[in-house]
Amino acid sequence: MSSIPLNDLDQALVAGQRGSSAMPQLYRELGEGEIFLLIPYRPELELGDAFQLENGMESPFVCLHDEKGELIPIFSSEARAQEGLAKGKVPPNSMHIVSMPAIQVMEVLGKAGVRAVLNKSCSTPQFILPPDLMRDIASGKVFEPLGIEDDDVEVALELLDPADYPTELVQAAFEVLRKHRNFRAVWIFRSPSGAAVAPSGRGYQFLLLMEPRDPAIYHEFNMVIAAAGDREDDIGHGLVDETDPVYIAHLFRQATPFYVAADFAQPRSQ
């Protein structure tokens, strides 16, 4: 076990490995403070010259490769970068550790369309960031609550046997649902239209009964599900009309929700 103290980003990274409900906090930390990167050795930097990233210049950062292509290693602290270099058996004096504002790193790497790997070869978990996520962190889009007034669902759905529930999605959903009383009942269905366009051929649709509706809490659910889901699946979500007890009663008759709040009184059909 490493003796390096866990900073806020490290703690969020560890929590994110334990459960997807911690992912929103990890995204917040990735936009705060500084991020540390690696560049090949440059003699002039030994003389105290500052490293500067200029518009139009070719990316100076060390780039790794995996089966999916290029990957830029980034680190939560200088100590983590040193730990990663040591565990990766990188020869001494072959790289410099440089720092940049985290929000700038997210913007630069996101716009470059390259993935990043956080804390590679470190005692903390590592986390791969796709470019679209980094762009959304940099712009703040990932934190903007979605409008929910027009988010009621009117699509063809199929019943899903509980034995066929996507386990990771359902577990991640539970982590958020039990935190907020606003969630009264939640169903998950198979979505034929989603499956038709998903690379995996799997499509799922969450139906959420929220009362009262809260855009920030609804967005938290969306973020957690997006982090937990398989990127090749098509995962949708929408809201049940909480003002229509007849439809809610009908929905309960058609399918058993996988989550119901302990104090929720199921409406009776008229």
Residues of the chain within CATH 3.30.460 domain(s) are 162-260
**Tens digits of per-residue pLDDT, 166-222?**
888 888 898 889 989 999 999 999 888 877 777 888 889 899 999 999 988 888 888
Q: Which residues contact 57 (CB under 8 A, 6 or more apart)?
A: none
Q: Superfamily assignment of 8-142 in CATH?
A: Uncharacterised protein PF11572, DUF3234 (3.40.1350.90)
Q: What is the pLDDT of residue 125?
A: 93
Burial label for 209, CB within 10 Å (0-12, 13-18, 19+), is: buried
Pairing of strands 69-75, 34-40: antiparallel
Inform me whether the pLDDT recorded for 15 exceeds 60.
yes
* Rounded CA separation 28/113 (Å): 20
CATH class of 162-260: alpha beta
**How large is the greatest C-alpha to C-alpha distance in the chain, in angstroms?**
81
Q: For the chain, what percent of residues have pLDDT higher than 90?
A: 44
Q: What is the mean pLDDT of residues 54-76?
A: 84
* Rounded CA separation 24/136 (Å): 12
Inform me whether the pLDDT recorded for 250 exceeds 70.
yes
For all residues of the chain together, what is the average pLDDT?
A: 85
